[in-house]
């Protein structure tokens, strides 16, 4: 336990040095958590402390995690890269303009599903609660409270016109760079596992 006390001290020193408002940490040994701790504030204004159960927004770091996890599931034979994401989620994931074209894991991960980043209200509301109560069905299903027709682009899934690239991005960026900035597809792919 002395090592964990030292870790606790080092975390606090690191937070002070780098002016970190809040963080959670955990030590995993043999696949089991042997220590967890919360430090600082999850919300300074409302004086909500960080606990070991605080949910943090990790933003685009999730894209690498999601892609790795999906490919591990594919390697284990638990899903296929060309599988309809709706089969895994338990509800249909379809561009309403192309209801006969399933949205696949590959399309979600390569940003060719047609999903656009039209979910600001959903993101803001889900971040105001910890843990979030909003569900992806609230956004993706037409009767969901966050659904909007702008969620889907005009192109058929898996075609160049279904790319999630926005016109505001500089045209001189390479295509892989432009399309890698979309989040809606990654969020949906992540929900499959």
Segment 7-18, tens digit of pLDDT: 889 999 999 999
C-alpha angle 150-71-115 in degrees, rounded to nearest 5: 5
**Cβ of 163: how many Cβ atoms within 10 Å?**
18
Contacts of 60-64 spanning 24+ positions with Cβ under 8 A: 60/183, 62/186, 62/187, 62/190, 63/180, 63/183, 63/186
Render pLDDT for 25-36 as a digit per residue (tens, 0 to 9). Answer: 988 899 899 989
Q: Both tokens of residue 85?
A: 């994401």
Given 36, 60, 128, 177, which residue is catalytic? 60
60 is catalytic: yes
How far is the C-alpha of 145 from the C-alpha of 30, rounded, in Å?
Answer: 42
Q: What is d(CA 113, CA 88) in angstroms, rounded to the nearest whole number? A: 16
Tens of pLDDT along 135-171? Answer: 889 889 999 998 988 888 888 886 655 555 443 333 3
Per-residue pLDDT tens over the stretch 94-141: 988 888 999 999 988 888 888 887 778 887 777 777 677 788 898 899
Q: Which residue has the tokens 């792919």?
A: 189
């Amino acid at each position: 336990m002395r090592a964990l006390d030292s870790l606790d001290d080092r975390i606090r020193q690191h937070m002070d040095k780098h002016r970190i408002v809040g963080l959670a940490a955990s030590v995993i040994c043999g696949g089991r958590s042997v220590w967890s701790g919360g430090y600082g504030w999850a919300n300074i204004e409302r004086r909500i402390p960080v606990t070991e159960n605080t949910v943090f927004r990790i933003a685009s770091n999730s894209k690498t995690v999601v892609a790795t996890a999906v490919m591990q599931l594919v390697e284990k034979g638990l899903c296929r890269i060309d599988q309809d994401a709706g089969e895994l989620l338990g509800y249909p994931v379809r561009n309403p303009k192309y209801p006969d074209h399933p949205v696949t894991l590959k399309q979600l991960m390569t940003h060719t599903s047609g999903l656009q980043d039209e979910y600001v209200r959903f993101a803001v509301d889900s971040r105001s609660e910890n843990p979030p109560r909003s569900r992806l069905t609230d956004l993706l299903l037409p009767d969901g409270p966050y659904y909007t027709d702008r969620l889907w682009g005009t192109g058929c899934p898996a075609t160049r016109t279904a790319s999630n690239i926005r016109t505001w991005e500089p045209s001189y960026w390479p295509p892989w760079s432009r399309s890698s900035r979309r989040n809606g597809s990654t969020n949906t792919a992540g929900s499959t596992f």
